[in-house]
Every structure is written in structure tokens, then in C-alpha cells.
Amino acid sequence: MEYAKSIYTNAPGGGVKIDKLPVQRLPEHNVRLKVLLNGMCGTDRGIVSGGLSFAYNPQNSDKLIIGHESLCIIDEIYAESEEFKVGDLVVPVVRRPGDCVNCKIGRQDNCSDGKKHEAGITGMDGFMREYFYDSLDYIVKVPDKEMIDVAVLTEPLKNVVKGFEVFDIVSKRAIFANEYSTFEGKRCLVIGSGSEAFLYSMMAREHGFDVIMTNRHPIEDKKLEICERFGINFVDYSADASQITGPGNDLLIDTSGDPGTIFRFLKTLNYNGVLILFGTNGRAPPAQLNGNDIDFFIERNITVAGTVDAAKIHYIKALEYLRKWKYAYGNTLSQLITGTYRPEDLEIFTKKPAGEIKTVIKW
């Protein structure tokens, strides 16, 4: 039996430890991946705090190796491949298919019977470990070695690519884009100022939206500088919400998972507006809608769309955006990575470093 240093929990109860754990090689595994970097996200912290009730261990195990954001290098290949070779930088796919029709066509992000698994989250060991075995079917190649400093952002960005795919479909039910088929002149409000909020805001700018990012407190100067570079306007709504409520918004994206804040800003949506629900927070206080709120949503044709995870196609597109932004914005893109830690620095799972956008673990 082989062993690798691994970061693990006991889901859904929580906690976090680091130790040498067995590395399994299944018959379908035809590649060995050495982990270079893991990204830390709100979901990892939720699992460790015990706040994510849907997380669970692999079958017959009392441990779940966590981590779903990663950048790896191919260590060994045990199959013929025209696409991959030893030394390639790759990003592994998080969701693995179950039995439903969506899973069968490679869209396990839209799994319809709940039998899919998610590495490091639901029933499958994740990527926070020195190395692991996988199948070539579930890795995506980083097209350019120069992207080594930003490719760990692929996994969180692929969620955003899918979120915008959902928005694109929903927005086509009415005339939403302008006469040039862009969203210039439309406004997008993004709730939250973590990594997903930054990536959603950047993607909204890419689509031509005027973008406001908002939180209930001010953000650090470094974050403000990044906002400025990408043309994102930050508003601390606890100090002044008039910039948000005044002109109204066309697209509202939530990364906070806080119902009170979402409902507050839902009422700022213009006719045919769209709310994308993305953030999760099982411990957020409840909030109530009343009958007049419902009338408002109906009268304005408001669409509420939840979106989770993404498919291989979204990873590929995310890598294209990262490549473009890397060259278009110089080192501003890599500044989204605000801290690099050792695997032993387990305190980052329970204490967010000040000014964090994306914290990474370097193996």
C-alpha cells in the first residue's frame, strides 16, 4: 500500500487533520498526478466547520480527504495518449458522473438523480494531498506553461463560466442585450467580495456589464486596486446603499448565501432581471418574503436561477479566459492569489487571512 500526506476531515461533522493516508489506485486509473497547488474556498471551510450538511465520506470510510481546487503535474501515464504527456500541467475535474442521462452526456454538473460524487466534498476523496491516481478522462490540460501562476483559479472560474451560461439562456426569453448583442449599459450587482465574487465580477465586465461588487463592510486597499484595474466599482452597502438601489440592477449574483441580503437587493432588479444564486450558507439567519414581494417578481418577470459546479467544457473555457486575462491585465490576475501556505498551516481552514481573495496551499 502507498501512502501520501493528506489533509482530511470526517464529514459532515467537520474538523481538519493532516497525516499520511493510503493512496488507492483503481483499475480505471491511468495517470498519476502530483499536486502542486490547492485553492481554498468557502466550501472547504464549510466542510471543516461542520456547516455543510451535504458533505459525506467515501463509502465505508470515516475520513474524507478534502480539496477540490487544484493544479497538478502529470507524474506518470499508464496509457497511450495523444493529448497528455508526463510533465503536463493539468486541472482535475471535481464532479464524477452517476447514472442519470445528464451524467451520461458529460453534464454531471446537471445531475438529476443526485448519484454523482464530488472530489473532496461528497463521497469521493479530494485533491489536498501529495499525489493521487486518476483517469485521463477527468483531467483538463493547461494550454500554456506560462499560466502556472494563475491556473489554480481554473476550478473556481469554471463555476462562473457555467453561471453565465445559465444567465445567457435565461436572458434570451426577452430582449436583454443591447442592439450590438452585448450587455453594455446594463448593470450587474455582485454580493460578496471573496474569490468567486471577484471572478463573477470580472466575467460580468467581460460581458460588458457595469459592475458593482458589494459587502457589508469596506474592503482592503489591495482589493480596491484590483477592482479598479478590472473596472469594478465597490460599494460598502452598510455605509451607503443608494448607489445600488437608485438606478436598479439587471443581473444580481449572490456569493454570500445570506437570504436577508439577497432579498434586500432582489427588490433592486429591473424588468426581466435575473438573480443567480451561487453562495451557500446553511447557518445564515432566515429571512421572509411577503405577498407584495412575490407580486413584484411576477410583475417584473424576475428569474431566480441556482447554479452549481460545471462540466469539462467550462474548465476549458475558464482556462481560455485565464489565458486572455493573464496577458491583458499583466500581473493583476495573479494578485487574486493573496496568500500561499504550507499544508501543515491548518489554521487557514478556520481563520480567514485578512484581505483574502484566494488562499493557496503549496505542496
3 state SS of 77: strand
Burial of 85 (C-beta count, 10 Å sphere; 0-12/13-18/19+): exposed
The smaller minimum CB distance to ligand NAP, of residues 49 and 281, is found at: 281
Least separation in angstroms between residue 54's CB and ligand NAP is: 11
Supply the minimum distance, in Å, between the C-beta of residue 273 and ligand NAP: 19
Q: Does 195 bind ligand NAP (CB under 6 A)?
A: yes
Is residue 268 at the binding interface for ligand NAP, with CB under 6 A as the rule? no
Are the C-beta atoms of 44 and 83 separated by less than 8 Å?
A: no
Q: Applying CB under 6 A, does 280 fall inside the site for ligand NAP?
A: yes
The footprint of ligand NAP on this chain (CB under 6 A) covers a number of residues equal to 27
Q: Is 264 in the site for ligand NAP (CB under 6 A)?
A: no
Backbone angles phi, psi at 332, to 5 degrees: -65, -35
Phi and psi angles of residue 269, each rounded to the nearest 5 degrees, phi first: -75, 135
Is 118 a binding residue for ligand NAP by CB under 6 A? The answer is no
256 makes contact with ligand NAP (CB under 6 A): yes
Can you tell me which of 6, 70, 108, 159 binds ligand NAP, judged by CB under 6 A?
Answer: 159
CA angle 94/327/352 to nearest 5° reads 50
E strand residue ranges, the chain:
2-10, 14-23, 31-40, 64-65, 69-77, 89-92, 95-96, 117-119, 123-124, 131-134, 139-141, 187-191, 210-215, 232-236, 249-254, 269-277, 303-306, 337-341, 358-362
Site for ligand NAP in 202-231 (CB under 6 A): 215-217
Stated as kind and residue range, the H or E segment containing 299 is: helix 291-299
Nearer to ligand NAP, 263 or 329 (CB): 263
Work out how close the CB of 287 gets to ligand NAP at its nearest, in angstroms, rounded to a whole number.
10
Residue 11 binds to ligand NAP (criterion: CB under 6 A): no
Residue nearest to ligand NAP (CB): 194
The four Cα atoms 23, 12, 107, 183 give a dihedral, to 10 degrees, of -120
Report the residue number, 88 or 258, with the smaller CB distance to ligand NAP: 258
Closer Cβ to ligand NAP, 46 or 273, answer by number: 46
Choose the stretch contacting ligand NAP; rule: CB under 6 A; options: 17-25, 145-153, 189-197, 311-319.
189-197
Distance in Å, CB of 42 to ligand NAP, minimum: 3
Q: What are φ and ψ of residue 358, in 5° steps?
A: -130, 120
- Among 7, 33, 35, 41, which residue sits at the site for ligand NAP (rule: CB under 6 A)? 41
CB 319 within 8 A of CB 147: yes
| CA–CA separation, 9 and 32 (whole Å) | 23
CB 46 within 8 A of CB 349: no
State which of residues 152, 309, 322, 361 lies at the interface with ligand NAP (CB under 6 A).
309
Closest CB 280 distance from ligand NAP, rounded Å: 4
State the Cα–Cα distance between residues 116 and 214, nearest whole angstrom. Answer: 34
281 near ligand NAP (CB under 6 A): yes
Cα angle, residue 293 at apex, residues 288 and 294 outer, rounded to 5°: 100
Kindly tell me which residue out of 193, 201, 249, 338 binds ligand NAP, with binding defined by CB under 6 A. 193
Give contact residues for ligand NAP (rule: CB under 6 A): 41-43, 46, 159, 191-197, 215-217, 255-258, 261, 278-281, 307-309
